[in-house]
């Protein structure tokens, strides 16, 4: 299978760099083909702006989504953006490797999504009308692919549990896992996380790689996070979860399928 690793860390000798190298070696040993985008090494342009559109529909006023749609469908995107889109299309699984900075991905990776996730490619896909708000959250261009967040965190695990002062990791990663990876259709696996990333010993490194190897071995077999599908029948015409669903959760976990709930519609029917 094809695995695309999107990697962001300024220091090759970092824990993130080592985890990226470990994943490349392990996945290659497993017989997979691996592609890496090393955003810092590539000098990736982090900022979404008018320079992303060499041919402008409206040179007087930049509307980023409209120019994005026009460039994507018209074939006038910069080659650097098309190349990254092609890696996503080539991939059977996508791994994001990054340090959690201010409870999110590094800016250079955020800017990758802003520029590579073109209108018509990752959003603005499918019918928008009636009760249907596009092919997203369980449908979309990247349907059939898997995604894994592999991240390092300075803090300790209890602080990221339900009740932990930082918010549960599931909730903290919601904009990334649900809003960015699941949005265009990827099935998202539970994240692989190294806590206390600044106090690594050789013993911990061995334990971490043992755990990560298992996650890489099960990349194509593990059950993904059971996010509901937008067009699966569990949301109403306003895209709000229907009464009686959610298993008593009052936060973001209500968007996970719960035991005993009516099944979703088959894919393709809304």
Q: Which residues bind a copy of itself (CB under 8 A)?
A: 10-11, 13-14, 40, 44, 46-50, 61-65, 101-104, 106-108, 110-111, 113-114, 117, 133, 137, 154, 156, 158-159, 161-168, 171-172, 174-175, 178-180, 183, 198, 230, 235, 238-241, 246, 248-255
In the complex with a copy of itself, which residue's Cβ is closer, 222 or 254?
Answer: 254
Shortest distance (Å) from residue 92 CB to a copy of itself = 23
Specify the residue for token string 């990247």.
142
Specify the residue for token string 């009740």.
163
In the complex with a copy of itself, which residue's Cβ is closer, 20 or 215?
Answer: 20
Return the number of other C-beta atoms located less than 10 Å from residue 268's C-beta: 8
Shortest distance (Å) from residue 56 CB to a copy of itself = 12
Shortest distance (Å) from residue 249 CB to a copy of itself = 5
- The per-residue b/e assignment along 221-243, b for 16 or more CB within 10 angstroms, e otherwise, is eeeebebbbbbbbbbeeeeeeee
Token pair listed for 251: 């936060």
Q: Name 236's Cβ contacts closer than 8 Å, sequence gap at least 6.
A: 131, 242
Residue pair 39/7 in contact by the 8 Å Cβ criterion: yes
In the complex with a copy of itself, which residue's Cβ is closer, 74 or 251?
Answer: 251
- What is the separation, in whole angstroms, between the first and last Cα of the chain? 31
Our CA angle for 75, 78, 83, nearest 5°, is 90
In the complex with a copy of itself, which residue's Cβ is closer, 215 or 229?
Answer: 229
Shortest distance (Å) from residue 35 CB to a copy of itself = 22
In the complex with a copy of itself, which residue's Cβ is closer, 217 or 236?
Answer: 236
Shortest distance (Å) from residue 174 CB to a copy of itself = 6
Q: Name 210's Cβ contacts closer than 8 Å, sequence gap at least 6.
A: none
In the complex with a copy of itself, which residue's Cβ is closer, 65 or 74?
Answer: 65
Shortest distance (Å) from residue 49 CB to a copy of itself = 4
């Amino acid at each position: 299978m094809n695995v695309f690793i999107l990697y962001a860390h300024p220091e090759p000798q970092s824990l993130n760099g080592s985890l990226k190298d470990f994943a490349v070696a392990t996945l290659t040993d497993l017989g997979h083909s691996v592609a890496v985008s090393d955003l810092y090494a590539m000098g990736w342009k982090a900022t979404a702006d008018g320079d992303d559109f060499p041919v402008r529909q409206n040179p007087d006023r930049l509307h980023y989504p409209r120019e994005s749609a026009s460039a994507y469908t018209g074939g006038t995107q910069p080659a650097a953006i098309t190349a990254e889109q092609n890696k996503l299309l080539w991939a059977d699984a996508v791994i994001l490797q990054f340090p959690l900075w201010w409870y999110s991905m590094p800016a250079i990776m955020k800017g990758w999504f802003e520029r590579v996730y073109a209108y018509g490619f990752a959003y603005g896909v499918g019918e928008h009308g009636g009760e249907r708000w596009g092919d997203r959250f369980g449908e979309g261009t990247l349907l059939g692919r898997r995604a894994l967040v592999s991240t390092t965190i300075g803090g300790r695990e209890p602080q990221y549990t339900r009740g932990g002062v930082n918010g549960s990791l599931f909730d903290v990663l919601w904009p990334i896992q649900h809003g960015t990876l699941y949005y265009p259709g990827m099935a998202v696996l539970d994240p692989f996380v190294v806590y206390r990333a600044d106090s690594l010993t050789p013993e911990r490194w061995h334990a971490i790689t043992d755990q990560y190897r298992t996650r890489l071995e099960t990349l194509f077999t593990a059950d993904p996070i059971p996010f509901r599908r937008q067009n699966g029948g569990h949301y109403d015409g306003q895209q709000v979860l229907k009464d009686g669903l959610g298993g008593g959760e009052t936060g973001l976990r209500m968007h996970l399928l719960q035991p005993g709930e009516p099944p979703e519609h088959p894919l393709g029917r809304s």
